[in-house]
Amino acid sequence: MHPVREDHVEHDRLGELQQHFGHGGDAMPVPELTYFIHAVDGRSFAGWFRTVGAGQIEVLGFGLLQTVAYPPHIAPANAARQTLARFVRARERKGLPVPTVDEIRAAVLSDAQPM
């Protein structure tokens, strides 16, 4: 179990996945992902989480894949929201972008417009 720490919010597992699957193009099975939107400082961000063990979830967002331990009195969805909020705030302190739900929708809609 990995406790959530402000300095360890960004966790890169690409190397682990590539090693596990042999190369980066293979599909990874994704059992029981729960999509959620969470407001952080007045802006909405999206993510997914899944339960990976008793008292442990994995949270997935843009640039984020982290296993998080949480106490029994906290719902997995709330632990996922807290993890996403910490991730967003840590990136913003470093001046790194994190696209909001509205920015993603606008980009998708503009790409879908006929020429």
Residue 40 lies in a domain: yes
Query: Whose CA is closest to 79, among 68, 65, 90?
Result: 68
Spatial strand order in the sheet of 64-69 = 34-40, 43-53, 56-61, 64-69
The one-letter amino acid at 69: A
Residue 96 lies in a domain: yes
2 in Cβ contact with 65 (< 8 Å): no
What's the pLDDT score for residue 54? 92
Residue 1 lies in a domain: no
Q: pLDDT tens, position by position, for the chain (115 residues)?
A: 344 333 333 333 334 433 433 444 444 455 688 999 999 998 899 899 999 889 999 998 877 888 999 999 999 999 999 999 999 999 999 999 888 888 888 887 887 666 5
Query: Whose CA is closest to 87, among 55, 47, 57?
Result: 47
- The range of the structural domain enclosing residue 72 comes to 6-112
What's the pLDDT score for residue 29? 55
112 beta partners: none
What's the pLDDT score for residue 115? 54
Largest CA distance in the chain: 52
Paired tokens of 77: 């969805």
Secondary structure class of 72 (helix, strand, coil): coil
